[in-house]
Amino acid sequence: MKEKLRQVSEYIWELEKNSRPNMRVKAKIIASKRVIEEMDDAAVEQLTNVACLPGVIEPVIGLPDMHWGYGLPMGAVSAFDAENGIISAGLCGFDINCGINSIRTNLTYDEVKEKIKELVPALFRAVPCGVGSRGSLRLSPDQLDEVLTRGVNWAVENSYGTVNDAERTEERGCMKGADPSKVSRLAKRRGAPQLGTLGAGNHFLEIQRVSDIFDEETAKKWGITDKNQVLVMIHCGSRGFGHQVATDYLKIQERAVRKYNIWLPDRQLVCAPVKSKEGQDYFAAMKCAVNYSFTNRQVMTQWVRDTFEKVFGRSWEDMDMQTLYALCHNVVKLEEHTINGERRNVYVHRKGSTRSFPGLPVLIAGTMGTASYILKGEERAMRETFGSSVHGAGRAMSRRAAIRKYRGEKVKHGLAQRGIIAESTHLKILAEEAPPAYKDVEDVIESVHGVGISSKVARLIPMGVCKG
């Protein structure tokens, strides 16, 4: 499929509607030539599958971090008409509101370096990581429903954060219209004991320091004033709660596809008409998972603050541990966009993609050995990508290949030599997540900055990592 890509400008590539049968709209990929050359052909093909769905708005978008995923690639954005389109559990994926919280501090690299060997294990104890870990919160069914409907507001009222945190979270930490009655009992049973847990896989808690500031004015506005300033990043999602909501609605929407006679190029792209019960019920349940996940990361943010207080003997307010921003990477949103000069409501499906609205922060996760980025959303994203940007780098090597190639002890030692302290539930996860198993995030950032959908504000490099 890649051979059919037509380069429109330095960073924009298009796939015409006739690239394969049944495409309703064009597909567009934002990437440098180098990124395109390394891109998986199967991911490009998946993008064309999305272009076949009913009510899809031109174009379906692939971002420079695009890589193969279930049904559609990670690093993709698609928008659907709010009258005649679809809402899809398949397009959102299993980890609803997998996302990032970035917390700044006024501590310097030297101050934290002195304590890093104490700090990382303390964080590892405070924030439950890995499969088999259990949270310390015990929520009653009513309390869980509060989390699902009120999101971060619940956390604020229960001393897991402040109003400032809510204000620095996408959707103010709460998507309105979440309806717990649309969520299965099973999802709630899985979710209740897991609030305040990090999970596993590529999820992490990281201590980072600023290596570069590109846009001083914006960085200052967001509280980053110096190179070597220390920040904390939390990357995780909605845990078993969100996985179960997705699993339940994949089955429901699979039936809906038959009921409404929707043709699918891939069974995994199940969906339902926007106005149908199966579509709106999913939207209301998905919002519960979004709110759960915002709250999950907020609770852990507060535990990170508590741990810093113990290790540094100062209050978190004194260390200026404010949320820089918190946002989603996997979500469906009803948004207003300008399409062919006309304002229209559309359901934007972002999978492995960050909202990139003008002036707002965009947070990009690296891996435990590579850089993360803070970007700023730009006006151009509203015209090119339905206000969206990238989410990370994506894997270059399978987990099994990484385990064969690397040894956990050596990875840990290699990181330590570079001044990065890593803690994990077991060493194999460090081999699986070894830095060379991921693609280079720098190329990805260069593409989004180059095309102008998000601009570089600051680059962060890791100094301590907790992995599940």
Partner 1 sequence: MKNFEFLEDLKSDVIFKAYGKTLEELFSNAALALSSVICQVDKIEKKELREVEVGGEDLEDLMFNWLQKLIVMVDIDNLFFSEFEVLGIREDDITLKARCHGEQMTPEKGRTVVKSVTYYKYELRKTMEGYSVQVSLDI
Show the site string, 272-311: x = touches partner 1 by CB under 8 A, - = not.
Answer: ----------------------------------------
Stretch that binds partner 1, among 54-62, 93-101, 111-119, 160-168 (CB under 8 A): 93-101
Told to check if 99 binds partner 1 by CB under 8 A, we report no
**Tokens 């990382």, residue located:** 120
Give the number of C-alpha atoms closer than 13 A to the C-alpha of residue 288, restricted to the C-beta side. 27
How many residues are given for the chain? 468
Residue 323 or residue 330: which is nearer to partner 1 going by CB? 330
Tokens of 3: 């051979």
Name the helix (H) or strand (E) containing 206.
Answer: strand 204-213
How many residues of this chain bind partner 1 (CB under 8 A)? 46
Told to check if 68 binds partner 1 by CB under 8 A, we report yes
Told to check if 86 binds partner 1 by CB under 8 A, we report no
Residue 133 or residue 280: which is nearer to partner 1 going by CB? 133
Residue 121 or residue 452: which is nearer to partner 1 going by CB? 121
Of the candidates 191, 183, 353, the one whose C-alpha atom is nearest the C-alpha of residue 283 is 183
Residue 72 or residue 451: which is nearer to partner 1 going by CB? 72
Inter-residue contact 344 to 350 (CB < 8 Å) = no
Give Dmax (Cα) for the chain: 64
Told to check if 240 binds partner 1 by CB under 8 A, we report yes
Stretch that binds partner 1, among 220-228, 310-318, 364-372, 399-407 (CB under 8 A): 399-407
Within positions 35 to 54, which residues make up the interface with partner 1, using CB under 8 A? 40
Which listed residue (235, 391, 413, 426) is catalytic? 391
Peptide bond into 64 cis (omega under 30): no
DSSP E strand boundaries for 32-83: 60-67, 74-81
Residue 130 or residue 161: which is nearer to partner 1 going by CB? 130
426 is catalytic: no
Told to check if 194 binds partner 1 by CB under 8 A, we report yes
Q: Is 233 exposed, middle or buried (0-12, 13-18, 19+ CB in 10 A)?
A: buried
Q: Is the dihedral of CA 376, 75, 381, 297 positive or negative?
A: negative
Question: CA–CA separation, 184 vs 288, rounded Å?
Answer: 11
Told to check if 247 binds partner 1 by CB under 8 A, we report yes
Stretch that binds partner 1, among 139-147, 167-175, 220-228, 242-250 (CB under 8 A): 242-250
Told to check if 67 binds partner 1 by CB under 8 A, we report yes
Told to check if 12 binds partner 1 by CB under 8 A, we report no
Inter-residue contact 465 to 421 (CB < 8 Å) = yes
Name the helix (H) or strand (E) containing 347.
Answer: strand 342-351
Q: Which of 24, 70, 143, 380 binds partner 1 (CB under 8 A)?
A: 70
Inter-residue contact 363 to 327 (CB < 8 Å) = yes
Told to check if 186 binds partner 1 by CB under 8 A, we report yes
Q: How far apart are the first and last CA of the chain?
A: 37
Within positions 132 to 161, which residues make up the interface with partner 1, using CB under 8 A? 132-134
Active site (catalytic) residues: 391
Residues that bind partner 1 in the complex, under the rule CB under 8 A: 40, 67-71, 74, 93-95, 128-134, 186, 189-190, 193-194, 199-201, 240, 243-244, 246-247, 267-268, 394-401, 425-426, 428-429, 432, 468
